[in-house]
Amino acid sequence: MEIQAVTMILIKTMNKSLLSFVGIFFVFLVTAQDGSSLWLGYSILENETERAAYAESLQFISFSDSTERMQLASKELQKGLQGLLGNSPHEKKKLPNQKGMYGVQLQLDEDLTLSKEGFEIEYTPQGTTIKAKKDLGILYGVYAFLREMQLRKPEPFTVVDQPKVKIRMLNHWDNANGTVERGYAGSSIWKWFELPYRLDPRYEDYARANAALGINGVTLNNVNASSRFLTSEYLEKIKALADVFRPYGIQIYISVNFRSPKTLGGLATSDPLDPAVRKWWKDKTREIHQYIPDFGGFLVKANSEGEPGPQDYGRTHKDGANMLADALQGYEGIVIWRAFVYKADPNGDRFKEAYKQFKPLDGTFDPKVIVQVKNGPIDFMPREPFHPLFGALPNTPLAMEFQITQEYLGQATHWVYLGGMYQECLRSDTYAKGPGSSVAKVIDGSLFEHEISLMAGVANTGSDANWTGHPMGQSNWYAFGRLAWNPEMDAATIAKEWVVQSLSRKEEAVSTLTDLMMSSHATYVKYTYPLGLHHMMGEGHHYGPQPWLDKSGRPDWTSVYYHRASASGIGFDRTGNYSDALDLYHPEVQENWKDPQSCSLDYLLWFHHLPWDFKLNTGNTLWDELITRYYEGVAEVEQMSTRWESVQAQIPSPIYENIRGRLKIQAKEALWWRDACTLYFKEFSQLPIPEGLTPPSRTLEEVKKLEAIYHLR
């Protein structure tokens, strides 16, 4: 909201309480303009009548039990109502016995049939009650109530909600030196050199933002882990963060290096079956709990991309995971063992590697172990088929790992809302127990009746004032949190929630921005990886196109390994002629993809190698459809800019200008992707650019120089 518009509201509605608040409000407004407030900006409700109605019914806050978290919930409610209504509720009173007291009652009720994190909200013009079995549920209920106030008119409503996934976690790929692997929003928000003696105020801001989404777990450090995080020096620092996060219901997890018994303990081995190694981990776990009594557990990347693991000693993933689970016996924490593993095989298919290693281990893991699987079988590609492990391990709980940071999705210069991509994966049917066996039901534990469940997202936060670099990147953090709470939520509903809380409540702006968000992912895929192409980004930095990459540290880090373009056609045959990866899915899933004539075009080249003149169900040849989609993607980015400009008056100016500039970058780089791939693949197809499309104005060699320049940066 623009300052001029707010001024008019204040002039029209000025009263004693607002006069006392003006100074504070304008400080808040200036802060909110840069995006730093995330979805907790609580800008004043513009509709004077609705604002007055809410204010009339929310005159005070009372709560039944004065726990630290209940007081925190009351503080959050006061802060939110101060922003939304322009005045804060009266001083807290004892819980009244009668209804019609025109206030908010925060009430613990052990008889509710909800989990400890669930809540019940009942709003009427005569008063509001937020109930929960535990005070954490009250805190979540307060955030939900403030969200509903911004989305609803002041008419009676009831909300009953509880999370479907037990552990809802952000994985930070942050390093001790302040860098962030695949981070595009500045340096790490964890200031390790200041901890534990100085606590940056942003730590609490971060905790509030996560609690408002129901995120209840944070892994602080990179999965390519340094053993340093297990030293007493760093455990003291981590304890300081855990103390900040605890009131907000957030537990701390630590990524560990499997070689730590050697590097820290001075042992001759890190073999998980060695008694001395097992004792070292038990002793270290005991030490961690002395600092952090409610320690969440260990996250492990092992025997993947050069990281050490149990296979170094002839052991299995089960042996390594169960050793750590044994160290956690007697504590509440768990072991999160990542399934992102693959061997360097020039004649293999990376698509199959995790399945080959983990399928035989189903049912052998300790009950404290959950296996964390990426949403797709390669590596966070812009669009992937769901991972074949989902539905393949009925006796092992599986966690979902999404990437929020846009490693392969234009990083912090391209606008790509990921809610739809997450939804596409979660709603995919594995058919593991017949129709309706969605990925969401696998990871929330309901399909195979597992007690523990987890959804993790690789965080996109950094030291930038707006947290995520690209302002729209905030929406992906938000969407992840909402879907982790309930994997069956609708991505468009989530997008609208974020717009209303973060950018604008104007109906035209909300509609336009929600539409832009929902189409942004498909647009990105069109100008980068249409028809199921994948893994053609620049080497190392993973930015921009490099479809010609044919040499790297290992074959499955090249582009040609995946697209297999030749004079005969393009695509990776996984139907059995080259790879039998399609066989890893249940028969009903295979039916969706095995026939190129009926296969969804979004996944066509994931599973089929087809000639350039293959006739598609669109009526186009494969070549014409491929190139047309590249051109459509570029045109759609230009349309995004036009639509963004149409809502300028309804968006805070700093955010508007920030995104406007980034859309110009996106348009330039969409053209880079289009020209690079069109000109490169044309050398194999030897076919003309489809009729009606203007050929690129530059040569392939000129485009290749752009990638070389980027490598020099």
Q: Which residue has the tokens 């994997």?
A: 487
Structure tokens at 431: 């058919």
Catalytic residue among 379, 424, 429, 669: 379
Cα dist. 277→310, 323, 667 in Å? 12, 9, 54
Give the C-alpha separation, 38 to 467, whole Å.
8
Total residue length of the chain: 713
> 10 Å Cβ neighbour count for 119?
27
Q: Which helix (H) or strand (E) holds 57?
A: helix 48-57
Q: Is the peptide bond before 654 cis (omega within 30 degrees of 0)?
A: no
> 10 Å Cβ neighbour count for 206?
25
> 10 Å Cβ neighbour count for 268?
11
Contact 326, 288 (CB under 8 A): no
Q: Which helix (H) or strand (E) holds 707?
A: helix 700-712
Terminal-residue alpha carbon distance, the chain: 38
Whether 204 is catalytic is no
Structure tokens at 186: 């500045």
Three-state secondary structure call for residue 62: strand
Name the CA radius of gyration of the chain, rounded: 26
Contact 575, 592 (CB under 8 A): no
Give the C-alpha separation, 147 to 500, whole Å.
9
Whether 305 is catalytic is yes
Contact 370, 399 (CB under 8 A): yes
**Phi-psi category of 306—alpha, beta or left, where left has phi over 0 and alpha has psi -120 to 50?**
left
Contact 496, 489 (CB under 8 A): no
Question: What percentage of the chain's residues is helix, strand, coil (to nearest 5)?
Answer: 45, 10, 45
Catalytic residue among 2, 122, 294, 305: 305
- Nearest to 656, CA basis, from 665, 664, 647: 647
Structure tokens at 222: 């990179």
Catalytic residue among 407, 497, 573, 624: 407
Give the C-alpha separation, 378 to 300, whole Å.
19
Give the C-alpha separation, 561 to 232, whole Å.
44
> 10 Å Cβ neighbour count for 129?
18
Give the C-alpha separation, 115 to 161, whole Å.
9
Question: What HEC string does 406-420 produce?
Answer: CCCCCCCCCCCCCHH
Cα dist. 224→14, 307, 338, 399, 598 in Å? 55, 7, 12, 19, 41
Whether 407 is catalytic is yes
Q: How many CA atoms lie within 13 A of 406 on its CB side?
A: 29
* Continuous H helices in 163-274: 202-211, 232-245, 260-263
Q: How many CA atoms lie within 13 A of 60 on its CB side?
A: 12
Give the C-alpha separation, 613 to 620, whole Å.
9
Give the C-alpha separation, 145 to 127, whole Å.
13
The single-letter code of the amino acid at 206 is Y
Residues labelled catalytic? 305, 379, 407
